Amino acid sequence: MALTILGLSGALTHDPSAALYIDGKLVAAAEEERFVRDKHAKNRMPYEAAKFCLEFAGIRPTDVDAVAIPYAPISLLEKARWHYARRYLYAPDRALDAIFAGNRRYYRYKKRIEWCLTQLGFDLKKIEIVPVEHHLAHAASAYHCSGFKEKTAILGIDGKGEYATTFFGYGENGKIHKLKEFYDPDSLGGLYGAITEYLGFEMLDGEYKVMGMAPYGDPKKYDFSRLATFENGELKVNTDYANVIGFRRYKENGKGYYFSPRLVEWLGPKRIGDIADDPYIHYAASMQKLFEDLALQMIDYHLGDILRETGRLAFSGGGALNVKLNQRIIARPEVKELFVQPASGDAGTAVGAAAYISAERGVPVEKMEHVYLGPSFSNEDVIAACAKHPAKPRWEKIDDVPQRIAKILADGNPVAWFQGRMEFGPRALGARSILGCPSAAGVADRINEQIKFRERWRPFCPSMLDTVGPQMLGCEHPAPFMTFTFNVTDEWKHRVPEVVHEDGTSRAQVLERKHNPRYYDLMVELEKLTGNGVVLNTSLNRRGEPMICSPTDALNMFYGSDLEYLVMEDIWATKTIFQE
């Protein structure tokens, strides 16, 4: 009998997603935002995503053995609720809530999941819903998906789950053991989020922009050490400044923020607009440095012994998307290999919760080798979408996609690239991407002019052949998911300048052919033309939109931008008259 576990995330009102494990194999996974075309799909349940997973696998609700959810009731006997109550004494109603009604959110969420399952055709009397603590789900999405066989240190950093904000543990023989947790408001991820808000971005969305801004600033100019301390194994965030609720919040135009008026008194007005100037670039640099330094101290204190024993670390939670921290972790002598769950935000907890329950029921899950887990579309689907589209696109079926597209790229043109199954997680990895030739001067600017309109200080990233990775990055560490930055070697800085960041690093995807043959072959063709088996790769979407899912989404985006070339499977669509 097959063991079929459906994981559903969305407990924290953002990033709902679904993931389906059948007999330990991750058959399908997708984020709700892609289907409903609403970034982060806030306050939604993963209805479309779950529907896709079941349909893709060709199974019915009655075939599912259990639904795993990454949010669980927390006992009053645990430290979590008491810590919260004590630290939020200045907001007595919330503090008392944590003691007397501390699982209210869980019950509210469970009701919504039950509603969603009913809509999907599940019989609530027959289906078992299994709660998994939020940080255990993050931990499982890292450890169980890592494929590591040795004893593995596990780290989780996010804003917060039920109460926990940070998780330290280890995995051994397929089992996860919890060593230590920190609780709200003592959250390093939350602090980064608060400063993200102060710097004018949205929390749970703009953190990577702060990270992109940081290299332009000087972290020594402003000392941020007062914001948080790590002593005797405990993290303490200074709630005079950040991670605040209730009356301590800074308010502007009726909106309350996660930082306090005192932070504004200290650092000056909250940043507005797209500027990346003094002093805000220095604040970004200081926050990034504090985050890295504290995270490394925490890792050393709580996980150092395990790392010195086996050198394996599995990392998840929103904080694991901090590619600069990850670079510093890999540089530690005791770390031999770091696995970062590619969907480290809350979308990945659907995978984690399902993997956790699968493993607990005796079916260990396979290593997560790639993220091509979403819907795919045939040439016929693409042609039908073109026929239906009001812009009446010109299209042609071509049989040499890698060669043709490589030529267009080498001529300095951006190309919208839509191939195979959609990626799971926030990174475009060659299934729904906008591509450019990284040695073509000005291509990043052209992509910005035609579609992305990104802040000028935000870098574009490279995908590269596995034969090129070690030469360009000077490092053999696996990098399949764009979860790490690397220092680019001097020679390659000159060869592919369009994908090297201000500080000389690149957030790289190093691709093995077996995971995406067509994308790999494209880079091989580009290498023949330019000498570099590297392509500039950014996600296929307009600013503020979720990544493209279907051919119709791609056509809408194409005609809502100045892009000239779009290739979907073997169908090449352009806005210009064909040359040949």
Sites of contact with Fe ion (CB under 5 A): 158, 346
CA dihedral sign, ordered 254, 258, 260, 265: negative
Please identify, using beta-carbon distances, which residue of 159 and 459 lies nearer to Fe ion: 159
- Give the DSSP letter string of 393-454: -EEEE-S-HHHHHHHHHHTT--EEEE-SSPBSSS---SSEEEEE-TTSTTHHHHHIIIII--
| Nearest CB to Fe ion, comparing residues 165 and 550 | 165
- CB of 116 or CB of 347, closer to Fe ion: 347
- Long-range pairs, 559-562, Cβ under 8 A, ≥24: 559/389, 559/391, 559/393, 561/450, 561/451, 562/449, 562/450, 562/451
**Smaller CB distance to Fe ion: residue 184 or 346?**
346
Q: Which H helix or E strand runs over 486?
A: strand 485-487
Nearer to Fe ion, 439 or 483 (CB): 483
Q: Minimum distance from CB of 469 to Fe ion (Å)?
A: 30
Shortest distance (Å) from residue 394 CB to Fe ion: 45
List of residues 6+ apart from 423 with CB closer than 8 A = 371, 372, 373, 374, 429, 431, 432, 547
Beta carbon of residue 154, minimum distance to Fe ion (angstroms, whole number): 14
Which tokens is 283 given? 């604040």
Least separation in angstroms between residue 156's CB and Fe ion is 8
Residue 453: both structure tokens together: 């309109």
Nearest CB to Fe ion, comparing residues 319 and 375? 319
If the CB atoms of residues 65 and 162 are measured against Fe ion, the closer one turns out to be: 162
> Shortest Cβ distance from residue 245 to Fe ion (Å)?
18
Kind and range of the H or E run holding 87: helix 79-87
Strand locations in 129-282 (E): 129-131, 152-157, 164-172, 175-183, 228-231, 234-237, 251-252, 255-256
Kindly give, in sequence order, each residue whose CB lies less than 8 Å from that of residue 353, ignoring residues fewer than 6 positions away: 7, 8, 9, 68, 69, 70, 130, 132, 137, 140
* Residue nearer to Fe ion on the CB measure, 321 or 508: 321
φ and ψ of 9, to 5 deg: -105, 180
Closest residue to Fe ion in the complex (CB): 158
Cβ of residue 139: shortest distance to Fe ion, in angstroms?
11
Least distance between Fe ion and beta carbon 13 (Å): 12
Give me the least distance between CB of 342 and Fe ion, in Å please.
Answer: 15
Structure tokens belonging to residue 435:
């591509």
